[in-house]
Each structure stands twice: as C-alpha cells, then as structure tokens.
Chains A and B, each alone.
Chain A
Amino acid sequence: MVEESRPSWENPMQFVLACVSYAVGLGNVWRFPYLCQMHGGGGFLIPYLIMLVVEGLPLFYLELAIGQRMRQGSIGAWSAINPYMGGVGIASVVVSIFLAVYYNVINAWAFWYLFHSFQGTLPWAECPLSSNFTTYVPECEKSSSTDYFWYRETLNISSSIEDHGGIQMGQALCLVLSWMVVYLCVLRGTESTGKVVYFTATFPYLVMIIYLIRGVTLHGALNGLKYMFTPKLSDLADPKAWIDAATQILFSLGLGCGSLIAFASYNHHNNNFEKQAIVVSLINSATSIFASLVTFSIYGFKATFNYESCLDRTQLLLINTFDLAEDSIKNNNLDDWISHLNASFPDKFATISSQIEGCDLESELDTAVEGTGLAFIVYSEAIKNMGLSQLWSVLYFSMLLMLGIGSMLGNVAAIITPLRDSAFLTRHFRKETLIGMMCLFCCLVGLSFTTRSGNYWFTIFNDYAATFSLLFIVLIEIITVCYVYGLKKFEKDIEVMIGHRPHWYWKIIWSVISPVLIIGLFIFYIADYIMGGTPTYQAWDSNLGKTVTKEHPPFAQAVIGLLLVTSMMCVPLVALITFIKKKKEQARESKISTTAS
C-alpha cells in the first residue's frame, strides 16, 4: 500500500500569500500607528527598520527553513531536530491554542459591526433616547455615541472583572459564525486554505488603497499626516522606542507560533524560501507603514473635526450668553472675543468660564489609542462623520475581518498540522472530524470572552498569552538551531534545499546578534513586570462614562501566571521526560546485552 503523500500548495504563490495573509494582521493596523505616535512619529521608522533587518528577517528565514526541511508541523519538526527539544514544538502549539481562542473574538466583533452597518443611520452615530423621549441616555451623553455603542450595546461590559454577567447572545452568535467561517476555510486542509488566501491577502490592500484616497482628501487629514511625519528624533534616545520596535517586529511577523513552520512544511523540497522570506517580511513592514498613513489621515480628520466642534460649541456658548449676533464670532477671532468679553463683563463671564473648554488641535492629535479602542471606537467615530458612512463602514469592517481571518488561518494551521502529523490521531479520526473538534473546543472556550466581563479577560490574554512566551520560544529556537543542532548542519540542509549556503550575514545574526537581542528583551520584560507592581486594567465605569484603572484580583493574576507558565514549562518538561525515557531504554538495553552475553 502506497502511503498518502503530504499535501502541498498548488503553487509557490499560494504559500507566499498564505504567509502574507498570516503576518499582515490587525497588529499592522492598530499597533504600529500607535507606536509611531508614541515614539516620535516618522522617527520611529529608524529603529523599526533596523530591527526588521537585524531580527525579523533572519528569524523568519530560520522558521521557513526548518519547516521546509523537516516537512512536519512544529512538534514533529523540533523532535526531529533534537529529541530533547520536542517541547519547543509543544509550547508553540499551546501558545497557538491560546491565540486561536481569543483572537477569533475580534472577528466576532468585526462581524457584529459589519452587520450593524446595514442601517439607514449607523447605530453608533447617535445616542439612543431615554424612556421619556426627552433626553439621551445619560451614559451615552457623558461619554460619546461610539463609546456607548462599543461598551454598552456591543460588549454590555460590566464594571469589573469579578462581575461575570451572562453570555451576550449577539456576541456568542457572531463568535460561532467566526469559527464556522474558519472551519470552512481549513476543513479540506491546505487545498482549501490555499484558495482562500488569494482573497484574504489581497482584499485588505484594496480597501486600504480606497481608504487612503478617501482619507487624504478628508478635511484635516493633512494635520494628522504632518503630525506623523515630523520626526521627533529626541524620542529615539528613549530605550523604550527600540524595545517596542523589536517586540513589534517579532509579533508582527508571527514568529514562534509554529504557523510558519506548518505552512513551510507543505512546500516543495526545493522551494526558494530565502527569496520568499525577504519578500514577505518586506511586504509586512510596508503594509504597517501604509496602514499608518491611512490611520494618521483618519486621525487628522477626527482631531480637526473635534477641534472645530469644540470651537463651535465655545462660540455658541458666548453668543448665547451675551446675546451677540450670530456670525459675529468666528474661529479666528475667538480668542480676541474671549479676552474682550472677560474684560468688559467679568461677572457674567465668570458664570460660564467653567464651561469654556480650551480647544487645542495638538492635544486632540496627541490622544494615542491602540488596539480595539482604535479599531472600533476611533475609526467608527471618524466613519460616522464621513459622507456615505454605511459604505465606508462596510468596507472597513470587511477589511478587519479579512485581516483577522487571514491570521486565524495561520494560527489554526499551527495547531492542526502537528495533530495531523500524529499517526495515532490520523488513524482514528478523519481529517474533517479532527479539525471540527478542534474548532468546536476553541469556540466553546472562546464563549467565555462573550460574557459581560469578557473584554477584561480578552485584554489579559492579549497582553500575556503570547508575548513573553513567544520571546522564550524564539530564543530557545535560535539556540537549538545554532548550538544544539549545529549551524554547519543547518547550512548544509539549506544548501541541499535551495542550492547555495546562506550568506555569512545570516549566520552571524543567527548565532550572535539575535540571541543577544532577545535575551535583552527578555530581561527588560521581566524587569518591567517586577517593577510594575500589581497588574492593572482599564474598567468601564458606566456612571462616569469613562474608563478607570483597577487592580487585577488574585484569581486574574493567577490566570496570568498560568498563561505564562503552561507554554514555557513544556520545554524543560519534555526535555526531562525524554531524558528519563532514554535513561530507561539505555538501562533496558544494557540489561538485555548483559543477559544475552
């Protein structure tokens, strides 16, 4: 009986698009622009590009080489490299499971917003009315209609992480749908994934181009772009900028999860992955920069809009209080009028002086937001003020969906490929059943993120599940390949596959620079965690209409610890188990040889 050959990509283009689709994800859209803003605008590109060349590219190359050489998922690949190092593969799978469970919740939110875009007025454009139809709901008035839609109507968030609340039906339905879409894309294995990535990799670019054209033509967009591109080089002296650049490159390329190994394992033996690694990494970084162009023009628009609304409100307040003619105060002479009125009618002015908000464009631009806040609050606020907002909303949330699903396909591949490599499981379960059970399991666990406190748990997972552990995994990967497996052996493997040895540049980075860099990041993370004190989170206070900082209760801290430990423990645990097994085998063999002789 001939063994079923390993499935493979129909053509190398599918592999490249799969990697692009996986690497280009929500982080490019909502994390990179934030980092740019925090670390001196255009100047941040310098540490970012340096880290790309020194850390991102070589590690990406390494993972693709391992996958293509070993032709197995992460567990099999690392066991093949060195039996003691099989734990690295298992750690990758554990991290991928955590990722898969919480990441798909973002797709659920994107679906929710997408479905709600098919209405006459977008539901987050206006505050709902209170029961007597005379005022708006107070929570909405205190915050804003977009905040209210996100915190109350989407999440129905509770006031703290201890307050569980029930499962929100709308969220749960959208989560189930997200998992069904993921299942649809991966259920036939690489064949179906290969066709889906044509769409998930290219559609976001189409939307981003359209948004860029619309974005730069918006009123006030140039303010945002100017803000982004004036480099404040003094910010580069802050080590945090370099550290953030390094971690951003690492996580943005999706290293350490095993997805790249899984994708590369379906490659033809002689596929030129070196060129592809360079291409995908460059595309990923270029997309980040492109996305921040779009984001900053939107920021500029929103900041200008808010600034001008603030000026209008101040104007209205002044002409109403002092009964001046309607068009007497304009934006450019507002300050003169204020000083004039203050001088001429000090008593009357004093009654309203508390209501006069200082309108400042800079401070509006300075409000840096990242993550779900950027994607679902800031963007939807900007969209509601654009003309034809339903169209822009549909486009934007479809793009978020494509980005999210593309990354999910990579995560799921990282879990499924090692499972399908296991002969035991393949014998007893059909491919579709195995994948279906995994999706069902992740979906059920993911339902806990749709409870009223779900968003707080989501933030815990987002901040802790994949950050520290991935650094650890990548460090062990590099050390294993360079020092345990041997750099010479690795070089030879690459020569067999692509026909030439890797340039000495790669070798220096793999053996020296990257490990040092990652150890440095490691130390920084540990120091930051120790000095940070009790971890805190942002809780939504419905009475105040804004977020307040609260400390994590002990059980949440325990979960954080568990997340970090479960994946990292796999490495020493498996090494220990293999060591014990080998010792037992050796003892048995020596007993047999002594009895035989």
Chain B
Amino acid sequence: MLSRVLLSLSLVPALALAVCQPDGQDAYKVRLSIKTALGANAYEWNESEQFLFRATLAFAMRKYTGQETFNVSSVIVCNETQRVSFWFVVTNPNDTATLIPKNAVEEAIRLSRNRINSAFLLSDKTLQFLGIPPTLAPPSQPSLPVWLIVFGVVMGIVTTGILALIISGFIQRKKKDIEDEDEEEKQERIMENGILCETLEGKEGVNNGAYSHDEDRLTQL
C-alpha cells in the first residue's frame, strides 16, 4: 500500500512533466527580458520568482473563470532557459490530467495582462507570451485635432494683419487725397494772374495812383 502510494506520488511530478510539453497544443512560451526593462535594478530570476509567476497565472485563471479552485499547483512550468524563457500549461483543478484549452488561457491572460506585468515590473514588450499579441493602447484622439487649433490661431493673426494694413493704407490714401485737394484749392486762391498774392500787398488790391481821376473831375478855375 505504502509502496503504491509512494509510486503514485513519484509519478505525479513525472506526469506533470509529461503534461507540460514545449510546442504542446495547450502550452504557451513565456519570455522575460528583465535586464532590458530594469537595467541596473534587474532582479535575479530564481525559484521564488517562478513561484510568483505561477501564482499570478493562477490568479488570472481564477479571475477569468470565476472558479476559486485554481492553485499554484495548477500551473506547470518546464524547459526553463538562461534567456529566462519557459513553457507552461494550466491544468484543470478538478482533473489534473486534462489541460485548460489554449484560448481560455489566452483570454485569461489578456484580461489580467496589466496585473501580471505589474507583478514583475515589466511591460507587454518585456514580458512576452508568444502567440498572444499585446493589446496596444489606442492613441487618444481629441475631439478637434490639435493642428487645426494652431492653424486657426495663426490664420486669425494673419487675417487681422492683412485687414489692418489694407485699412490703414486706405485711410492714409484718403487723408493724402484730402490734403492734396486742400493744397490745390489753397493754391488757386492765392494765385491771381500767375502772381502770388503775397507779392501784391493783401487781397484787396492795390490802388494805383496813376489811374485815379479824382482830382481831375473838377477843373481848376
């Protein structure tokens, strides 16, 4: 009895390993680029980090399926490399021999991708699940494109400038026209027979004594 129990116990990890096959139908490859992401603050990848990974994945499965039966032991990892990459499968908590199908795992990971990334201080690019495309954040589109606003401002300034110059030119021309007219009128008034009135004393005219006949009206007796 004991030997049988011991045998089955020793078979479990062997079974587990058999379940986790690289390139398996329901297996995913994970690749972490810790040094690229964190540089000097990079942490060492060890057994405990691996444990955290399996726990996070179990959390993701719980969240997705709503069943709180998933455990760290449901996630099986194999083929770890120096790169820090490995394969994993998720076993059904009710029946450890069967695996959760690929799309279910994919959906679960997509749902909690952010949480998984944050647990490791990584991003979609540095914690890669090969075969699950990262959900790229859609760029924020403001209601009115920014460039139109700047365009409107510049256009307004230029239009105001043009109108200001045209109108001031118009006003200047009007003023010049009025000044020119005034000058011409003044010139007409002061010109008498081609001679400026300043040379003739005053505008009333000059009395020329040679033509005055007052004394000759009455002849002398």
CB contact under 8 A between A187 and B151, given known A134-B135, A323-B83: no
Partner of B82, one of A180, A187, A324, A431: A324
- Given A112-B147, A187-B165, A326-B84, residue A177 in contact with residue B136 (CB < 8 A): no
Q: Give chain A nearest CB distance to B37 CB in angstroms.
A: 10
> Which of A115-123, A282-290, A494-502, A566-574 lines the interface with chain B?
A115-123
- Cβ of A424 under 8 Å from chain B: no
Q: Are A326 and B33 in contact (CB under 8 A)?
A: yes
Q: Which of B147, B150, B154, B159 has the most CB of A within 10 A?
A: B147
Complex alpha-carbon distance, A119 and B41, angstroms: 32
CA A116 to CA B138, docked complex, whole Å:
18
- Residues of A within 8 Å of B166, CB to CB, are 187, 432
Residues of B within 8 A of A325 (CB): 82-84
Q: How large is the interface on B (under 10, 10 to 19, 20 to 34, 35 or more residues)?
A: 20 to 34
- The answer to whether B83 and A326 touch across the interface, beta carbons within 8 angstroms, is yes
User: Is A128 in contact with B139, judged by CB distance below 8 angstroms?
Assistant: yes
Look across to chain B and name the residue whose beta carbon is closest to the beta carbon of A178: B158
Contacts of B35 in A (CB 8 A): 326-327
Q: What 1/0 mask marks residues of chain A from 174 to 199 whose CB sits below 8 Å from any chain B CB? A: 10010011011001100010000000
A180 touches B169 (CB 8 A): no
In the complex, A326→B126 CA distance in Å? 12
Shortest CB distance B163–A (Å): 10
CB pair A320–B135 under 8 Å, yes or no, is: no
Given contacts A326-B33, A327-B35, contact A188 B169 (CB under 8 A): yes
Mark out the residues of chain B between 140 and 159 whose CB falls within 8 Å of any chain A CB in the assembled complex: 146-148, 150-151, 154-155, 158-159
User: B24 at interface (Cβ–Cβ under 8 A)?
Assistant: no
- Given A129-B136, A134-B133, A135-B133: A115 and B150 interface contact (C-beta under 8 Å): yes
Q: Which of B33, B81, B138, B148 contacts A323 (CB 8 A)?
A: B81
Instruction: Determine whether the beta carbon of A177 is less than 8 Å from that of B83.
Output: no
Q: How far is the CB of B1 from chain A (nearest CB, A)?
A: 44
Query: What per-residue 1/0 map shows which CB atoms of A306-344 lie under 8 Å from chain B?
Result: 000000000000011001111110000000000000000
Could you list 19 further interchain pairs (A-B, Cβ under 8 angstroms) beyond the known A111-B154, A324-B82, A325-B84? Answer: A112-B147, A115-B147, A119-B146, A135-B133, A135-B136, A174-B151, A177-B154, A177-B155, A177-B158, A184-B162, A187-B165, A188-B165, A323-B85, A324-B83, A326-B34, A326-B36, A326-B83, A328-B82, A432-B169
Q: Which 10 A-B pairs have the closest CB atoms?
A: A323-B81, A115-B147, A325-B82, A323-B83, A326-B35, A115-B150, A134-B133, A180-B158, A116-B147, A184-B161
